[in-house]
Amino acid sequence: MKKTLIDGSEIRLCDVTDLAAQTSANVALAPIAAERMQASVAFIDRAVEQNERIYGVTTGFGGMAGVVVSEEHAEALQSNLLSFLASGAGDEIDRRHTRAAMLLRANVLAQGCSGIRPEIVDRILRFLSADATPVVRELGSIGASGDLVPLSVIGRAVTGVNDSVNVRLGDRLLAGSEALAELGLEPISLRPKEGLALVNGTSFSAAVAANAVSEARCMLSLTFAVQAMMLQALQAQEDPLDEFVHQKKPHPGQLWSARTMRQLLPEGRVHTNPKPSLVQDRYSLRCLPQYLGSVVEGIARITHTVETEMNSVSDNPLVDLGEGRICQSGNFLGQYVGLAMDDLRRFTGLMAKHLDVQIATLVAPEFNSGLPASLRGNSDVPYNMGLKGLQITGNSIMPMLTWYGNPLVEHFPTHAEQFNQNVNGLSWGSAHLAWKSTGLFRHYLAVALMFGVQALDLRAKSLLGHYDGRAIIGSMLTPLYEAACRAIHVEMTGNRPLLFNDSDLWIEQHLSQLNDNMQQHGSVMASVEPILKSFADEFDR
């Protein structure tokens, strides 16, 4: 495996999520970063010897910053910091978040502004390479002074100054001291500021946010493909997607959305009724680029915000080696991530809401241009009800997604930590809600995808006399159609639609199969990779 050197330079979203998803790596600290780090450590050591007053180094923390800490207690102060922060609560978080946080923390410490020895960052990277993941709890950060409680778990694990930590080494759960021994490491005492450098920053919130926005980008790509399936099944008119229209309202997201839908829909589309009763389609069809375009731009903006935070040195105080000074400031506030994740949840709800309107249109004969009620397959049997139950499941999910869109950041407590943290970023909580929201949206997209395939099969029957929906979609949508059918083990013969008789399918099982496929980034997500790439090419820096 090729070795990756961590040197403090910019890390991109895909770098973080790729490494987070792996169970092994080969990462090491670059020599140039080690030199910078050692110089910042020497600077802190001199300042302590000269009895300079430095927050969290020769003083207490937060509201106790007026407490003087002498040189003889400076190291004990750092070890005790990791001890009193051993206070997380709730369920264990996804290991991907912790791995991403370890990578981000190592990289920003490598910039040499934090007064921490290279040996400690090297330990973080050794943990990453060996698939040693500290067990971090879901509750414990308000995004002020950074992610103190969750980051302290990583600090205790890699240093061993306190054994109040568990570590997953592969598929085994070990005490922190056992994990260190397995990796051939001894506990290491902390120097002045090193505990603070480990815990004081937004790296964990940024890590969760990176995973959430990465999933959201995938879900956005799948949303466009499913929407295209539905537009084709509903026989949407072509004028609303015309390039001329969108050049007259040239928002970047709108232009990209219209262009993407034109690419997804087949050329020379055959309509059931070339002269529809309505001169123009209803808003969910006619205004799709305008509606989703703003969401597209929002997710692009969130990506940029998260990537900036990922690469920011966010602890306090900072060592400015160039000017030979220490700056005591507030880069640790997680406001950017918190607001971005509030927005991400809102955009996720908007995508679900629009799909929910399309589904409601598909199942209503008054609006669906001749498709059967509830998209039932066998209309000859009066008791067949089609996808009624599936729509109810979708209806149960969609309101929760819009509810997740409520903001968290504006609800900060003002009294935290002796009123020192009297404004809070709440980035940790907002990012975790965003992660949950993307997972819930994945379940909703499984519902929407089944509606899309069934609707295409029934439209193919009305247009061509058989049930193979692939015959009426373009080459960009065919891989998704086939991936969905294969994921739920449905044969694509064209003799029957996805659902013919209600008893033909166990929809609950198929929803689970589709969700698993998407969660594992299997064939369903692979089929929309061109859309994701187009988004990245258009909007990423």
Residues 6+ apart with CB under 8 A from 260: 224, 531, 534
**Spatial distance between the Cα atoms of 79 and 49, rounded to a whole number of angstroms:** 19
**Spatial distance between the Cα atoms of 497 and 460, rounded to a whole number of angstroms:** 9
Q: Are 205 and 312 in contact (CB under 8 A)?
A: no
CB atoms inside a 10 Å sphere around CB 219: 24
**Spatial distance between the Cα atoms of 92 and 27, rounded to a whole number of angstroms:** 25
DSSP-based three-state secondary structure for 457:
helix
**Spatial distance between the Cα atoms of 166 and 111, rounded to a whole number of angstroms:** 29
Residues 6+ apart with CB under 8 A from 262: 241, 243
- Three-state SS string across 353-374, please? HHHHHHHHHHHCCCCCCCCCHH
Strands 27-29 and 4-6: parallel
Residues acting as catalytic residues: 55
Sign for the CA dihedral angle at 455, 458, 461, 466 comes to positive
**Spatial distance between the Cα atoms of 190 and 193, rounded to a whole number of angstroms:** 8
Q: Are 134 and 97 in contact (CB under 8 A)?
A: no
List Cα–Cα distances, 482 to 318, 501, 514, 526, in angstroms. Answer: 54, 21, 12, 12
3-state DSSP helix/strand/coil percent for the chain, to nearest 5? 60, 5, 35
Q: Are 134 and 166 in contact (CB under 8 A)?
A: yes
DSSP-based three-state secondary structure for 232:
helix
- Three-state SS string across 233-255, please? HCCCCCHHHCHHHHHCCCCHHHH
Tokens 């980034």: give the residue: 521
Cα 401 from chain centroid (whole Å) = 15
Residue 64 tokens read as: 């106790």
Strands 166-169 and 172-175: antiparallel
Residue 150 preceded by cis peptide, ω within 30: no
Q: Are 373 and 328 in contact (CB under 8 A)?
A: no
**Spatial distance between the Cα atoms of 148 and 29, rounded to a whole number of angstroms:** 24
**Spatial distance between the Cα atoms of 177 and 162, rounded to a whole number of angstroms:** 9
**Spatial distance between the Cα atoms of 329 and 312, rounded to a whole number of angstroms:** 14
State the DSSP code for 323.
T
